[in-house]
Structure 1
Amino acid sequence: MTAQLHSVTGAADTLAVRNPATGEVVGTFPVHTADDVVAAVARARAAQQWWAGLGFAGRRKRMQRWVRWLARHCDELYELGHREGGKPKGDIQFELLAGLEDIRWSAAHAKRVLGEKRVAPGLAMLNFDARVAYEPLGVAGVITPWNAPVYTVLCGMAYALSAGNGVVVKPSELAAATGVWCVESFAKANPDTPAGLAGWVTGFGDTGAALCRSGVDKLAFTGSVPTGRRIMATCAENLTPVLLELGGKDATIVAEDADLDEAARSVVWGSLWNAGQACVGVERVYVVDAVKSEFLAKVKQRAEQVTVGTDPLSDYGPMIVPNQIDIIRRHVTDALERGATALVGGLDSIRPPYVEPIVLVDVPEDSAAVREETFGPVVVINSARDVDDAIAKANGTVFGLGSSVFSREHGREIAARLRAGGTTINSVLTFVGLPSVPFGGVGDSGFGRFHGDDGLREFTRAKATTFKRFGMGQEMQEFPRTDEQFDIVRKVVKLRYGRRFR
């Protein structure tokens, strides 16, 4: 069940967030107008001056307070997230843990990554001192999705704030309760912070578009490819730079020398966690023919044991968006009609608002279930003659977010040939939970990076500073130019650059 719009007498329009399994209203939030959004950005911009002035040490202290506050109030978040999305508390716990690591890591490493550094001036300007620093942009806008509302909010805030920016978050209308809770947790942990430094706005597409047009200095968006294209087009009106983390059709390769028990366990979890509603979920598997039968037997055994329901510790819960169930039904129907086999589940597994595990085998490569993002608890397992064939099929997509490889001896060389923003060897999705490595995609999966050094620099502008340490008599940067100077530089160029570099 989607968020519903209600008119409230004497107040602005509001949206009600409902549990998709029970229909329970979890929270009611305003539908912010364009003027509201501009005001939120203005508050963040005013507060950002104070925040930037704290320096790296002052910001780190407050980010550490935030981590402690979140850890101490985690049970409150688990309950809210379970009520809002019907998600098992374990999924919310997984999101929180990854978010806490992002906050901790970004605050601890911001000075090392962004602080001023001395760099070599080069031969032509050897009498100059050269420095590079990374300055805050000002205010970052962050638009987050409904499928991982805790993690994406905390992650976006972590890198923007650690880099010295203010931030305004627009959570999905389907997950506004947890999104707002996460944003407000920062001020609760740091009551000395000026109002609005970490702000939020709620609403539908118009509110998101207003944030794109509000004058933010960068817009970070996590969501679908079609919406990402609209975000980019809207931001282009004001030349606002964007970070886009979009969809995926992640592939896993199972080589002949793979640990099949580990591969089966990982594929089942990676394809079904969060009901498959994950941009980096395992959607395609290419297993070499030599081990296919044994691998399928292990996957079948594990997938049939997965539990689905409203229990707080179920393996996964309901589908959040009803329209996504229609996509799943279309993909599965098309695959079966074109000769695929349902190893686990099938069309009868689709029982809204739930979809029980579906494992499809031998699906045509040009089918919707292989070419399009399914975003549900469905995984396709296809054959490959050998590793080369598996790599070619894995790379045969417009997406390029994540990937994984199972091989005892050849994991690194296989991973190097995969076109994706991240690859995990002998596991799945690990790069998402590591704050020290960049996370993002290529192709239709977007561009820009969260996490790591790259993630911090995404929310800054590079600033070069040079100053003259001493004069050199006749300078190249002044008139007149003399024959003597020309001859000296001519000899230096031939001597320095005309020979083989070591």
Structure 2
Amino acid sequence: MTTTQRESTPVTADTFDVVNPGTGAVVGSYPIHTSGDIAELLDQAREAQVWWAAQGFGGRQRIMTRWVRWLAAHAEEIYALGNSETARPIGDVQMEFIAGLEDIRWTAANAERVLRRRKVAPGIAFTNFAADVVHEPLGVVGIITPWNVPIYTVLSGAACALAAGNTVIVKPSELSAGAGAFVIDGFHKANPDAPAGVLSYVHGLGETGAALCKSGVDKLAFTGSVPTGRRVMAACAENLTPVVLELGGKDATIIAEDADLEAASTAVVWGAFFNGGQACVGVERVYVVRAVRDEFLELVRTKAEKVTAGLDDGVSYGPMITPGQVEIVRRHIDAAVAGGATALVGGPESVKPPFVHPVVLVDVPEDNPAVCEETFGPVVVINTATDVDDAIRQANSTSFGLGASVFSRKRGAEIAGRMRAGGVTVNAVLSFVGMPSVPFGGVGDSGFGRFHGDAGLREFTYAKSTVRKKFSMGPNVQEFPRTAEHYDVIRKTIRMRYERKFRG
């Protein structure tokens, strides 16, 4: 926390430890903040929001740019902290960090274009009026972030809300609390004259998150699991607090008969095992057209067998972050094998807590938990489709709808257009997540609302319309008594503007 925040937020409860999941070493201890602490921060944030909004788009861009520069100057410290809290390779921390920096830069640079006041047409019935629409900040936004990409989700969520003129209170995951706190502290170190309440954070466990949901913030953005998302939404409903929910997925990849199989196999292996599969947009299901199945499987097998897990330099990914997630992965692998699936790479023996080594499962029944439920681990299911239409049908037969991908030399756009997902990548995987100009979010059990892009900026505002009467025009239909002339004018208008176009 900033010095100001430390002084204004007393520690009134116990502390919790952040533990390196690979070594078991304690890497930090943090206070558990209470609802009273959150209330103090909320008051501080509301006061600061008046100052923040008054800076205007240009002022906010300058302040956020200084933040980006400070973060970049302290990159090595951020890499080390991210690595110590999650035991992920430095390269993975770097990837999420640069994506977060770009989100701050883009939102700050584009907020005015997206949110500024614009004139709109008042319509034929109000030609004597002028009308405009502007997107106003909501006030104070609460953000609850996950443990799998703890730096990126803090920076990305805060970027949209701040650029739109809101102040922000973040609750980083208790499993990676230090990384989130460090980058938020950086905002105030880069801008020491900014009020402390512009960007702040609270630490704690589930109870602290629930308190933030019920605190009276003006919007709550949550990234995490479906069960927790439902609880977040229920808690926010007590105050009619609107929510953004990014709840993970069971992302599918389609391999068409005209796919570049070398590129597709490389991308699938990376998308399935990046970050140990602990990514909401990770590749969990693959549907390969029968005509190219055998060649594709052999390429995947060769590449997946070279993927490594551990703590040494040069490994592909690190440990599972939580023991509970290890057990989910174990259950899915066991269920798939029991259901008749073939383990092309790895199998039940791949689960060696805290690590899970790469697992490729082939021909898993579609009603199996390994296909229906989010695994969130280094396991990918590859099933065969008779043709592209069959692949699309199977890919869409899920309650999730976050991301998807398709590999095809000629039909990529067509296939992508038929897939039910918030974002689809053609001839690559996961790419849309790292593009700040592209909205990110899902449908179905993957949640609703958007981060990133124009939609992400508008997500943290409300649309305010202003209409102004410029001159009187008769007959005035907004007065009593209404006369026959009033009705005649409307009758003629309808006939001239609408009826004549009907060609039934």
Q: TM-score range by the shorter chain?
A: over 0.9
SS of residue paired to 1:464: strand
Aligned counterparts, 1:360-371, within 5 A: 360-371=361-372
2:237 maps to 1:257? no
Distance 1:395 1:440 in 2: 16
Secondary structure (helix, strand or coil) at the match of 1:58 reads helix
Q: How does 1:196-235 map to 2 (within 5 A)?
A: 196-235=197-236
Moved more, 394-403 or 482-491: 482-491
- Percentage of identical aligned residues: 65
1:143 aligns with 2:153: no
Match of 1:193 in 2: 194
Q: In the TM superposition, what whole-angstrom CA distance separates every residue of 1:196-249 from its partner, at most 9, and x where no partner exists?
A: 210100111110000011110000000000000000001001100000000200
> Within 2, Cα distance between the matches of 1:168 and 1:220?
10
1:474 CA drift (Å): 2.9
- State whether structure 2 residue 358 is matched by structure 1 residue 357: yes
8 Å Cα contact 1:89/1:312 also seen in 2: no
* Structure 1 position 477 matched with structure 2 position 498: no
Structure 1 residue 484: deviation in Å?
A: 2.1
Question: Deviation per CA, 1:137-189, whole angstroms, max 9, x where unpaired?
Answer: 00000000011101110011000000000000001110101111122111111
Q: Taking structure 2 as the reference length, what is the TM-score of the superposition?
A: 0.96
8 Å contact from structure 1 (residues 119, 132) kept in 2: yes
Q: Could you say which residue in structure 2 is the equivalent of 1:108?
A: 109
Query: What is the rounded CA distance, in whole Å, between the counterparts of 2:294 and 2:493 in structure 1?
Result: 68
Q: CA deviation at 1:122?
A: 0.4
Q: 1:501 to 1:195 in 2, by over 3 A?
A: farther
AA partner of residue 105 (structure 1): W
Partner AA of 1:249 in structure 2: K
Amino acid at match of 2:182: W
Range with bigger deviation, 477-486 or 446-455: 477-486
* SS of residue paired to 1:135: strand
Partner residue in 2 for 1:437: 438
Contact in 2 for aligned 1:308/1:316 (Cα 8 Å): yes
Match of residue 97 from structure 1: 98
**Does the 8 Å contact 1:129/1:468 carry over to 2?**
yes
Cα contact 2:475–2:485 (8 A) shared by 1: no
Shift of 1:487: 1.4
- Aligned partner letter, 2:195: P
Residue of structure 2 in register with 1:5 after alignment: none
C-alpha separation between the residues in 1 aligned to 2:148 and 2:407?
A: 27
Could you tell me which runs of 5 or more consecutive residues in structure 2 were left unpaired when the two chains were aligned. 1-10
CA apart distance, 1:11: 6.3
Higher mean Cα deviation, 470-479 or 384-393?
A: 470-479
State the 4+ residue runs in structure 1 displaced beyond 3 angstroms.
none
Q: Give how far 1:13 is off.
A: 0.3
Q: Secondary structure at the match of 1:196?
A: helix
Residues of 2 paired with 1:173 and 1:217: CA distance? Answer: 23
Quote the offset at 1:501 in angstroms.
7.2
Give 1:306 deviation, angstroms.
1.2
Does residue 395 of structure 2 align to residue 394 of structure 1?
A: yes
**CA contact 2:143–2:170 (8 Å) conserved in 1:** yes
Q: Determine the structure 1 residue equivalent to 2:8.
A: none
Contact 1:258/1:407, CA 8 A, preserved across alignment:
yes
Residue equivalent to 1:79: 80
Letter in 1 for 2:374: E
Identify the residue that residue 267 of structure 1 maps to in structure 2: 268
1:14 aligns with 2:20: no
- Bigger CA drift: 473-482 or 328-337? 473-482
Offset, 1:26 = 1.3
Equivalent-residue separation in structure 2 for 1:489 and 1:349 (angstroms): 74
Match of 1:309 in 2: 310
CA–CA distance in structure 1, aligned partners of residues 143 and 103 of structure 2: 15
1:170 aligns with 2:171: yes
Q: Does 1:70 align with 2:71?
A: yes
User: Residue type matched to 1:133 in 2?
Assistant: V
Which amino acid letter does the alignment assign opposite residue 204 of structure 1?
L
Cα deviation, residue 12, structure 1 = 2.9
Distance 1:165 1:284, change over 3 A: same
- Do the aligned partners of residues 11 and 221 (structure 1) sit closer, same or farther apart at CA in structure 2, a change above 3 Å counting? closer
Give, in whole Å, the separation in 1 of the partners of 2:192 and 2:482: 62
Contact 1:89–1:313, Cα closer than 8 Å, also in 2: no
Given that 2:13 and 2:34 are in contact with CA atoms closer than 8 Å, whether structure 1 keeps it comes out as no
> Quick check: 2:12–2:33 contact (8 Å CA) kept in 1?
no
SS in 2 for 1:380: strand
Residue aligned with 1:499, SS:
helix
SS at match of 2:122: coil
1:345-402 CA-to-partner distances (Å, cap 9, x unmatched) read: 1111111111110000111111110011110000000000000110010011110000
CA distance in 1, matches of 2:485, 2:347: 83
1:312 Cα offset (Å): 4.7
The one-letter code matched in structure 1 to 2:19 is: R
What is the Cα deviation at residue 485 of structure 1? Answer: 2.8
Alpha-carbon distance in 2 for matches of 1:463, 1:442: 26
- The C-alpha deviation readout for 1:19-66, integer Å capped at 9, x for no partner, is 011112111111011111111111111111100001111001111111
Say whether the 8 Å CA contact 2:333–2:348 is kept in structure 1. yes
Q: Which residue of 1 aligns with 2:293?
A: 292
* TM-score normalised by L of structure 1: 0.97
Which whole-Å CA distance do the structure 1 matches of 2:319 and 2:313 have between them? Answer: 12
Q: Which amino acid aligns with 1:428?
A: V
The 2-side partners of 1:360 and 1:486 are apart by 70
Match of 2:4 in 1: none
Distance (whole Å) between structure 2 residues aligned to residue 311 and residue 150 of structure 1: 22
| 1-structure distance, mates of 2:321, 2:17 | 14
What SS does structure 1 have at the residue aligned with 2:501?
coil
Q: In the comparison of the two structures, how many residue pairs are matched?
A: 493
Structure 1 range deviating more: 470-479 or 65-74: 470-479
State the alpha-carbon separation in 2 of the partners of residues 473 and 186 from structure 1: 57
